[in-house]
Structure 1
């Protein structure tokens, strides 16, 4: 039976899911598993606080349980990696979180990584995760663009803010690579990379790429 990599957007914003779907298009290959981007209908409009992140875990686990038999792997497409370890306990499939995969990819591309968050209150949540991963010593810094998930829909203003923050991470914090700290930023990766002249990691692409390798190599 052919199985799919399910890329689950834990917020209910379908525009974010559409951006994720577009971002992973180049990873769809002949002979590989299907890649399906899904929206968690029970999620909030955006995951912008620890409460939001905690609140999506139970519905995320319920959704994944209904997909288990058809799944080749799961990717949790939120930079807070909500429910990552709980889903790993629940599922027999590979489970990848975009924050973890984005950071690990950045570490292969430079000594010090910078992160662009959407809002300042996201940063403490991310720093706790980096501490748990043991990578805080390689973090150059994390800065926020100061935009909500809904405000990311304004392409011109969002790109302007991303470039401003990316250049600060490069010039003031001496980052060698930049990780986009929200799945809603996916469509800006190439333009941001061109503007700042550093490798920019879009974490959903990083996570789906890792999931593809796990599935194709049979590494469960």
Structure 2
């Protein structure tokens, strides 16, 4: 029976889903679980407020049920689900809606970062994201390892301007490294995935794409189930 991992983009921007899918190319291998990137059509254009986070919870649970049926139609099983938004929207409700593991990219990205450095910094999209992230990191119990969280002032759709996005990521990363003591960086939006390798080279430090981190964990869980 084939195994399937479903990576759900909870916003409705297919360009973000395409970028996520491209970032996961190195994680696909012959004989391994099939990795499907899915757009939540009912989602907003970006998960940018707490209201956005709350609004996608029910549609996410419905999408998980759809994906489970899709896996069955493919003659396999949905082994793991990944919620590809750094706010981890609907994570706990989603875990209640299925018997399979559900991973949030923020949780996985931070846990991965803490294996690569002592202090992690986060680059967010908008200033309004920062308070929401801090609440989540406090709930995780990891604020002692958090160097800081800096926003680049671009919304999800504006990340499509790659030169401008990369320039702002570099500036924020330099500030987190040089002024706030971060020795590993976490990208605070799934739409930043294309810049991970170049940003790591520019900064001379590890940079974690949280979706790649979550799917790496998903592959391990799928292999062991």
Which of 127, 130, 139 matches 2:134? Answer: 127
Q: Alpha-carbon deviation of 1:76?
A: 0.1
In the superposition, the TM-score normalised over structure 1's length comes to 0.98
The aligned length equals 218
Which residue number in structure 2 is paired with residue 37 of structure 1? 37
SS in 1 for 2:2: coil
- Structure 1 unaligned blocks of 5 or more: none
Q: Alpha-carbon deviation of 1:60?
A: 0.6
Q: Alpha-carbon deviation of 1:98?
A: 0.1
Where do 1:6-155 residues align within 5 Å?
6-69=6-69, 70=71, 71-155=78-162
- Structure 2 unaligned blocks of 5 or more: 72-77
Q: Alpha-carbon deviation of 1:4?
A: 1.0
**Cα distance between partner residues in 2 of 1:115 and 1:188:** 14
In the TM superposition, structure 1's runs of 4+ consecutive aligned residues that sit over 3 Å from their partners are none
**Cα distance between partner residues in 1 of 2:213 and 2:198:** 17
Which residue number in structure 1 is paired with residue 75 of structure 2? none
**Cα distance between partner residues in 2 of 1:174 and 1:63:** 40
Q: Is the 8 A contact 2:121 2:185 kept in 1?
A: yes
Does the alignment pair 1:162 with 2:157?
no
Q: Alpha-carbon deviation of 1:90?
A: 1.2
CA offsets per residue over residues 73-121 of structure 1, 9 Å max, x none? 1000000000111111111111100000000000000010000000000
CA offsets per residue over residues 109-137 of structure 1, 9 Å max, x none? 00100000000000011111100100000
SS in 2 for 1:185: helix
SS in 2 for 1:121: helix
**Cα distance between partner residues in 2 of 1:68 and 1:126:** 30
In the superposition, the TM-score normalised over structure 2's length comes to 0.95
**Cα distance between partner residues in 2 of 1:179 and 1:100:** 11
**Cα distance between partner residues in 2 of 1:91 and 1:129:** 23
**Cα distance between partner residues in 2 of 1:12 and 1:84:** 18
